[in-house]
Structure 1
Amino acid sequence: MGSTLSDQCGPRAAPRDEAGAAAGHRSPPPPPVRPARARYTVWIAAVSVYVVAAFYRSVLSAAGPAAVDRFDITATQLAGLVVGQLLVYAAMQIPVGMLVDRFGPRRLLVAGATVMTCAHLGFAVTGEYVGALVARMLVGTGDAMILISVLRLVTAWFPPRRSMVMVTTTAAVGGLGALAAAAPLSRSLLAFGWTATLLVSASFGAVVGVLALVVVRDTPGRSGTRAPDSLPTIIRDVRVTWRNPGTKLGFWSHFSLLFPFNVFCLLWGYPYLIESEHVARETAAVMVGLPTAVVVAGGPLIGAYVARRGRLRPAIVMAVLAGVALTWTAALLWPGDAPLALLGVLAVAVGICAPASMIGFDVVRTCVSGSQLGRATGTVNFGGFGASVLVVLAIGIVLDAGSASLSAETYRWAMCLHYPVWLLGGIQVWRYRHCSRKPPGAQPGSTTM
């Protein structure tokens, strides 16, 4: 544990081959040649599904007021639509990771697109709150299958030196879907109404689902499904995956950095800016969209920086965490309303968190064996969205407790709930800042994808 992250997770092909030979296992053959045109074609088809998933996930950021009128609900019930969606998304991460390992990413992409599209259709036509809640939870179910599948395809089709760049580029391109769910969707709702707008947007899911079915392949070579595992084997494999320090480092990195982005952009950023900082509604809408713009514009740059400094990944996570925490502290402690310049810096800091959280996926790529990669990726993603659900719920509880008078002070106390989660995540990232190359219990000669 005294060596650096890069030393422990760096390439060691020869010792692994010797260990495999000594144990009677053959090392896997080298991967087939992956022409650039083929791998980018597969990636474009897969990431198009992720763009639509990000759009469906973020619909309520613009459609929230329309949903309140359509379903005749309170603000708490509106928050329930988001929380229900995120709860299902988070709960599905480890099962979906196992399904990716079992069936491959292509089948999960198609299944996820199908479930999301059907759920979005239901959300378009239902007039009851219960129906809307079920539809949003099913959107979360389908959405849960997408990112893990795309990341698995990136690992299979792109060389390791390009992986982090492609992961953050995937997040950046996905941000286009979230941007489309903001101002463009809001204008469409005003011009064409709820049902027409959402029915048309449901066709996007059908198109990308067919595209994934036709274009995407799991690997450059032949691919297939594994034999089903027994329940004791599944439990054992999950435990083995979690015991790997690389899985834990990836989990806590994603846990610490993704939730500030989700809390700010999916639900609480807009009311905080209006009610606590007294920002004009038009300006608040721009500021809530600014973090997503940072993801789109800066994600690939952050990925390229991290790719060149692999051994500094935990330090980068800690630096981003410290930066966003300090910026929130300045905004919350500012006497009276924080200046717009400071709030703009806060929005940028929140935006940097999202691509930086992808470091968690790069850690498991280098520290977890290929046979466990789906489960490890699901575990990492669960960390980020699990933290998001906890903080979104906790803020709502604090605001409800002070619902008689939702003052600026109440919002500021509610936003302080970021800090215990950051503290826990930061301690754990520091604790697991070194990861081992080979997970405990892994068979010699297993591939590291």
Structure 2
Amino acid sequence: MSDLLNKALRYRWLVFWVLAFSYILVYFHRLCPAVVAVDMMRDLQAGGTLLGLLGSAYFYPYALMQLPAGLLSDSWGPRRSITLFFSVATIGSILLGLAPSAFWAIVGRTLVGLGVAMLFVPTMKVLAEWFRVREFATMTAILMVMGGLGSLTAAYPLALLSNWIGWRFSFVAVGVFTMVMAILVWLFVRDRPADLGWPSPAESVGSSPPSIGLLEGIRRVLTYPRFWPVAIWFFFDCAIFFSFGGLWGGPYLMQVYGLTKAKTGHILSMLAIGMIVGSPLLSFLSNRIFKGRKPVMVLSSFIVVCLTALLAFYTDTLPTAALYLICLGLGMFSSAIVVIGFTTTKELFPVQIAGTSTGLVNLFPFAGGALFQPLLGYVLERGGKVGTAFALAGYKQAFLILFGCGLISFLACLFMKETLVRE
């Protein structure tokens, strides 16, 4: 038995790293339009609103798939679910690269969002089968770092690649890589060690608390007043990050400051650095320094208000160093902070409905991105153009909206319940 357990302990790392490298693609696809947005507008003859719809087409299916992802993982299994849906993402990415019009590009991006939506929840289920409870948080943190690497590749490396082979062939190449990862998942990932005839490294827990049905769990979450400040915070906080970091930050830097695509990608890569550094830093501050969730959420939201104020009121007069710091700050305090937000949500409810509460609250960040990306595109279009570039007045109005989002998310934090139980 010990020999079989040792095999499982070794093999689980292959399972983990295949899934972790797959997770890079989730964040890459989420943020990749920012760097190539200007090229896509030109080649697809799309205005701001249409490009906003193209960017947000990822978020609608991703948000809608959060609850079905858990159900499919339980009924059909993570390995089969991820392989099938990553194949869908492959088709979507290749279609996006070959799209003859904005309509087909939107169809492709929708398929990408649908496909990659099926990775995170099934991966959590696989990790729970292969790793011990005390190891689970560490493995999740490593997974978040891999997501940060995905954001990083969507910035400067994508700018270089698109300069070399164009944005269209870049998406085709990413589609091929997505298919490779789908094949690797099918070949090497197993839902649980028992599929290979091995014992599970995960400890067997004693008597588990009585289960709560899905509908009852949804009812409990949605009718609990303390859930809604967290949900509102997620909606407006992530609207800022996805709107700026996922789409309009690229055109802003190129059109207002006249930066090259490569330089723009370099600055936007600070979003990913902020995510990678911020996740462990904010967790440390929450657990060790403040010994609470709410103080870190309030502090982070206040910093986001300050950052969006700089964009809204000093839109065209910021030094280059400030642009780097703004992107670094948004990566840390608007994106990495969601780790604390998810922890807060999980701690609000009994463990039996932790998955349901997390799945429900996870609808709100993607709904924020889905709504505000095209809204900002509409505002930019209404602000007029100077040649082919959006006018400065449009960017000022768009960033005023993000400043308003920052204020609302800050106010929502003040109504949150402290969930960390002090020993």
- Partner in structure 2 of residue 46 of structure 1: 19
The letter of the residue matching 2:250 is: Y
Relative to structure 1, is the Cα distance of residues 139 and 296 closer, same or farther in structure 2, using a 3 angstrom cutoff? same
Task: State the alpha-carbon separation in 2 of the partners of residues 435 and 138 from structure 1.
Answer: 37
Contact 2:51 2:374 in 1 (8 A): no
1:354-379 CA-partner distances (Å, limit 9, x unpaired): 11112222234444455534332222
Shift of 1:307: 4.9
- The alignment status of 1:412 with 2:396, answered yes or no, reads yes
- Structure 2 residue identity aligned to 1:400: E
Secondary structure of the corresponding residue to residue 306 of structure 2? helix
Cross-structure match for 2:328: 348
CA distance in 2, matches of 1:436, 1:296: 23
Show the counterpart of 2:412: 428
Q: For residues 36 and 303 of structure 1, what CA distance do their matches in structure 2 show?
A: 27
Greater Cα offset, 288-297 or 137-146? 288-297
Question: CA contact under 8 A between 2:57 and 2:106: conserved in structure 1?
Answer: yes
Q: Residues 291 and 334 from structure 1, CA distance in 2 versus in 1: closer, same or farther, beyond 3 angstroms?
A: same
Which of the residues 66, 74, 88 maps onto 2:47? 74
1:316 corresponds to 2:305: no
Q: Distance in 2 between matches of 1:160 and 1:332?
A: 45
Checking the alignment, whether the CA contact within 8 Å between 2:88 and 2:111 is kept in structure 1 is: yes
- Structure 1 gap segments, 5+ residues each: 1-31, 224-232, 438-449
Q: In structure 2, what is the equivalent of residue 362 of structure 1? A: 343
Measure the CA separation in 1 of the matches of 2:126 and 2:346: 12
Q: 2:244 aligns with which of 257, 264, 285?
A: 264
Contact 2:14 2:188 in 1 (8 A): yes
Change (3 A) 1:71 1:393: closer
- Taking a change above 3 Å as real, the CA distance of residues 255 and 129 of structure 1, as seen in their structure-2 partners, is closer
The corresponding residue for 2:94 is 121
SS in 2 for 1:280: coil
- 1:61 aligned counterpart, secondary structure: helix
Within 5 Å, which residues of 2 pair with 1:269-348?
269-276=249-256, 278=257, 280-281=259-260, 283-308=263-288, 311-334=291-314, 337-348=317-328
* SS of residue matched to 1:260: helix
CA distance in 1, matches of 2:227, 2:129: 19
Code of the aligned partner of 1:181: A
Q: State whether residues 48 and 374 of structure 2, in contact with CA within 8 Å, keep that contact through their aligned partners in structure 1.
A: no
Post-superposition shift, 1:349?
0.9
The corresponding residue for 1:377 is 358
How many pairs does the alignment contain?
396
Among 152, 172, 178, the residue aligned to 1:205? 178
| Equivalent residue number for residue 392 of structure 1 | 373
Q: Distance in 2 between matches of 1:309 and 1:106?
A: 39
Distance 1:331 1:431 in 2: 26
Equivalent-residue separation in structure 1 for 2:143 and 2:418 (angstroms): 26
Give CA deviations for 1:391-446 in whole Å, capped at 9, x if unaligned: 22332232232226754343222212124433433343333324599xxxxxxxxx
- CA distances 1:72-120 after superposition (whole Å, capped 9, x unpaired): 4334322221022222322333333443455454443223312111212
Contact 1:156 1:220 in 2 (8 A): yes
Alignment match, 1:56: 29
Contact 2:34–2:247 under 8 Å retained in 1: yes
Contact 2:18 2:189 in 1 (8 A): yes
Distance 1:244 1:218 in 2: 34
The CA RMSD measured in Å over matched residues stands at 3.5
1:244/1:436 contact within 8 Å kept: no
CA distance in 2, matches of 1:52, 1:101: 23
CA 361–179 in structure 1, closer or farther in 2 if over 3 Å, else same = same
C-alpha displacement of 1:337: 0.7
Q: Which moved more, 1:260-269 or 1:134-143?
A: 260-269
Structure 1 counterpart of 2:361, which letter? V
Alpha-carbon distance in structure 2 between the residues aligned to 1:221 and 1:246: 40
AA aligned opposite 2:370: V
What displacement does 1:326 show? 1.3
Shift of 1:291: 0.9
Quote the Cα distance in structure 2 between the aligned partners of 1:170 and 1:37.
18
For 1:35 and 1:309, how far apart are their aligned partners in 2? 37
1:182 alignment partner, one of 155, 159, 164: 155
The secondary structure found in structure 1 opposite 2:384 is coil
Structure 1 distance, partners of 2:267, 2:113, is 25
Q: Give the TM-score taking structure 2 as reference length.
A: 0.79
Whichever residue aligns with residue 415 of structure 2, its letter is: R
Aligned to 1:403: 384
Question: How much identity, in percent, do the aligned residues show?
Answer: 23
Contact kept? 1:261, 1:354, Cα under 8 Å: yes
Counterpart for residue 96 of structure 1: 69
Superposed, which structure 2 residues align to 1:146-165 within 5 Å? Answer: 146-154=119-127, 157-158=130-131, 163-165=136-138
Quick one: which amino acid aligns to residue 280 of structure 1? L
What amino acid sits opposite 1:239 in the alignment?
Answer: R
1:215 positional shift:
3.4
Q: CA distance change for structure 1 residues 360 and 218 in 2, over 3 Å: closer, same or farther?
A: farther
TM-score by length of 1: 0.75
